[in-house]
Structure 1
Amino acid sequence: MYTSSAVAELEACRAVLTGPSSDSVILAVHGKYSHQADADIQTLMDVAVPRGHQVLTFDLPGHGNRPGSPDELRISAAAGEVAGMCAWAGEHFPRRRCFATSLGAYLSLVSIPADALEEAWLLSPVTDMGALVRGLMSMFDITEDDLRQQQTITTPVETLEWAQYRFIAEHPVGGWATPTRILRGAHDDLVPPGSIETFCERTGATLTVAPDSGHYFHTESDLAQLRSWLEQVVPVEARALDQAGE
């Protein structure tokens, strides 16, 4: 039975649980300027649901069917929502995994407890948000002192806020212990060079590189690569095996 507060949180995030009842759930966390029904998450559902998993999706603040715009997303608040979704999944499913893309991966890596998941699958993950923000600041000759004094600075790319900068500085991706597999594009021009490889060396995560893809997996070829990778990493649950044998 869901508590009223849990129901309210799920409704606020436009959460959707897809697939027949199962002991296994995959929490899917989309990236910025995306939404819970985007092509990458739909590809996950196409692979995972027939294999016996349910998929828990939701929209980050300002995305999909939620009020506002993606530019209004605050990383600190979004991280709290990911933590809340994972906690809800932990109360209702004995087996939990996570699929997260880009910014959604960073939010998951800094907000999900080490013992909460059996596995994580990350697509084009931002594993060093601090380096990404510092690179943006350098591009526009913005110093930490500038941001501290002005609190908010708008650039042609992104609006920077001191409070969010401090959150990122205080929440780097640390010693992630969950068994993790990563898919990234060889032509990813958003994630700082080498950051994913460094993360893999530090955590033991397994990296697969799609040779013709960039950061965003959206073309027919990109999604075919994603599907092929998911078919390799997503296990078949016992319930699906039992149904196949009936």
Structure 2
Amino acid sequence: MPRNQAKQKKQLIVLIVLTAMLMVFVAYQFKDKINLPTQARMQNLAKKLEEEKINLQIAEQDKAEFDRQLEELRELAEPFWDASNQRAIEQEVRLRFETLVREAKITWKSISTQRSKSNLRNSIQEIEVKMEFDSITMQDLAMLFERLDDFTRRNKRQFHWSNFRLSTTPVRQIRAPGQPVQPQTQARTLKLVATAKAYALTPEASDIIFATGANNTTAKGAAKQ
């Protein structure tokens, strides 16, 4: 009997030792995967969350400032023509100017456009509108300027005069026998040769300004109207 008790005691000791070794082995193998919610760990997580919250607030402030500056840039870009279609911009400018002249009921001799070779910057291109009128009155000019001002007021886009040369058209004179020379009664007409310039954004600049940020489709669509 005492021998059986000694054997059982020995087996119990071996079992305890094996259990302890197994626990040590498991703890070693899974030490990186077992994270008990200790107070120190919870404090560390709380600190990280607070840092992320501060970073998020800074990011939101930066985005708000970016959106504000982008809106200011879009307002500054309103007077420029949109050149998203690079090949059609010259034709668009010419057709628009011809429409304004036609609305002023003026007949032109020639109106043509060409892209200037000396662009101001890489993001802006210059389109010249060259025109010639053989017979135009001061009243016609006043009407044309009124149409141009109205167009700029409605669409923000502008034409800038770079060359404007007026010359009088010779008036025939009639000499009656024994009388001083009398000009023929007719409205005095003028000849006009002028150049106006339109400034357009390059496609790259247009994409950066109007296709960036929220509501980009609405912003670009409004700029094209």
TM-score normalised per structure 2? 0.24
Q: Which has the higher helix share?
A: 2
TM-score normalised per structure 1? 0.23
- Over alpha carbons, which structure has the higher Rg? 2
